[in-house]
Amino acid sequence: MSQTVRGVIARAKGEPVAVEEVEVPDPGPGEVVVGVQACGVCHTDLHYREGGINDEFPFLLGHEAAGIVEEVGPGVDDLAPGDFVVLNWRAVCGTCRACRRGRPWYCFNTHNASQPMRLADGTALSPALGIGAFADKTLVHAGQCTTVDPAASPAAVGLLGCGVMAGLGAAINTGGVTRGDSVAVIGCGGVGNAAIAGARLAGAATIIAVDVDAKKLRWAEGLGATHTVDASTADVVEAIQGHTGGFGADVVIDAVGRPETWTQAFYARDLAGTVVLVGVPTPQMTVRLPLLDVFGRGGALKSSWYGDCLPERDFPMLVDLYQQGRLDLDAFVSETIGLDGVEDAFAKMHRGEVLRSVVMF
């Protein structure tokens, strides 16, 4: 048995996405069908459409979502129909070598649904990040569902499912930002601006926002940036040094993910500082550096997978902070759109008009 819903499909590299019929199977052991209420448009969806992640077309896009559990499969006893959940794309296994050593946020064997969703002609779909939530309903692993307070806005808290969590966690978890730190964030889209909000939550004293787009920098000021740098005109490394007593920042977060922005991050940190790469590079990108600079500048060069988050620990806590008015998730919802608006939303993202367009069902 299966049910037919609408979903946003990327059929081939670079081609516009389209709404098509999707067959969602009944949940098998450990699986859950979720009725999607809201799903944000993330740059990673566009990376998929452009073939930048892998070639496993067709993709069912969408992965930062909140919704209501509709059906649970055999063996799922901690979720029930009616539960309000935020979906996550790193459901930890508990038994891999990372989990067994007490570092589950690195889990090397995260869970997804085992049955595929399909097109009407039977073609199996690759759901973006194992979720596929630009669809009325989606099939996920039970571990991909975290229950949160149902009073919260689905459009806002759904963003914790990817970009906003990645940015917040890049600052708080991966970067270890703490009271009094100086932090610079290169790229102030949804992810970078969330890193700025995270740096403020953690008590950073200096927060430098860097972008090529003046509108993004204004939004960054609203979320906690104390200084802004227009990368289309300024020398980014010198500007960050200028705002940090000539030294560079304690933590520099690259939320773009290109060789030039990562290299800026590398040189814009203080001695023994930390670089966090949260933007996702493409397979063609390479970096060349004098090895002596890597040694001589010390510190840590880290990547942030999903903000090193643990959904069960972090989502409910961040929803609480949101509801207390201490974390402005609504500021990330630039517009709400319909399921047929995703291609337009990619264009708006390209033109820098939005932090997040959120598909509402």
Ligand X SMILES: NC(=O)c1ccc[n+]([C@@H]2O[C@H](COP(=O)([O-])OP(=O)(O)OC[C@H]3O[C@@H](n4cnc5c(N)ncnc54)[C@H](O)[C@@H]3O)[C@@H](O)[C@H]2O)c1
Sites of contact with ligand X (CB under 6 A): 42-44, 47, 162-163, 166, 186-192, 210-213, 216, 231, 255-257, 261, 278-280, 304-306, 349, 352
d(CA 34, CA 137): 5
Asked whether the beta carbons of 33 and 113 are under 8 A apart, the reply is: no
d(CA 113, CA 90): 12
Cβ distance to ligand X smaller for residue 79 or 358: 358
Question: Least distance to Zn ion from the beta carbon of 111, Å?
Answer: 9
Structure tokens at 104: 């589950």
Cα angle 233, 234, 235 (rounded to 5 degrees) comes to: 130
Question: Least distance to Zn ion from the beta carbon of 15, Å?
Answer: 20
* Residue 279 contact partner, candidates ligand X, Zn ion, none, CB within 5 to 8 A by sort of partner: ligand X
Asked whether the beta carbons of 241 and 221 are under 8 A apart, the reply is: no
d(CA 128, CA 237): 35
**Size, binding site for Zn ion by CB under 5 A:** 9
Question: What b/e sequence results for 328-346 when a residue is b if at least 16 CB atoms lie within 10 Å of its CB, and e otherwise?
Answer: ebebbbbeebebebbbebb
* Residue 269 contact partner, candidates Zn ion, ligand X, none, CB within 5 to 8 A by sort of partner: none
* Residue 337 contact partner, candidates ligand X, Zn ion, none, CB within 5 to 8 A by sort of partner: none
* Residue 178 contact partner, candidates ligand X, Zn ion, none, CB within 5 to 8 A by sort of partner: none
Question: Least distance to ligand X from the beta carbon of 333, Å?
Answer: 13
**Beta bridge partner(s), residue 229:** 210
Question: Least distance to ligand X from the beta carbon of 210, Å?
Answer: 5
* Residue 349 contact partner, candidates ligand X, Zn ion, none, CB within 5 to 8 A by sort of partner: ligand X
**For residue 319, how far is the Cα from the chain centroid?**
16
Residue closest to ligand X when measured from CB atoms = 189
Question: Least distance to ligand X from the beta carbon of 303, Å?
Answer: 7
Cβ distance to ligand X smaller for residue 3 or 263: 263
Cβ distance to ligand X smaller for residue 28 or 108: 108
Cβ distance to ligand X smaller for residue 67 or 257: 257
Asked whether the beta carbons of 83 and 104 are under 8 A apart, the reply is: no
* Residue 252 contact partner, candidates Zn ion, ligand X, none, CB within 5 to 8 A by sort of partner: none
* Residue 47 contact partner, candidates Zn ion, ligand X, none, CB within 5 to 8 A by sort of partner: ligand X
Q: Which of 63, 74, 75, 81 is closest to 144 using CA atoms? A: 63
- 136: Cβ–Cβ under 8 A, 6 or more apart, which residues? 5, 6, 7, 35, 36, 339, 361
Cβ distance to ligand X smaller for residue 7 or 307: 307
Asked whether the beta carbons of 331 and 223 are under 8 A apart, the reply is: yes
d(CA 196, CA 242): 19
Question: Least distance to Zn ion from the beta carbon of 209, Å?
Answer: 20
Which one of residues 34, 39, 91, 107 is an interface residue with Zn ion (CB under 5 A)? 107
Question: Least distance to ligand X from the beta carbon of 319, Å?
Answer: 19
Cα angle 213, 223, 266 (rounded to 5 degrees) comes to: 60
Residue 357 — φ and ψ, nearest 5°?
Answer: -90, 135
Which one of residues 93, 119, 212, 300 is an interface residue with Zn ion (CB under 5 A)? 93
CA 342 to each of CA 7, 79, 215: distance values in angstroms, whole numbers, following the listed order: 11, 30, 21
Cβ distance to ligand X smaller for residue 100 or 351: 351
Residue numbers 44-83 binding Zn ion by CB under 5 A:
44
Question: Least distance to ligand X from the beta carbon of 174, Å?
Answer: 9
Which one of residues 96, 119, 300, 321 is an interface residue with Zn ion (CB under 5 A)? 96
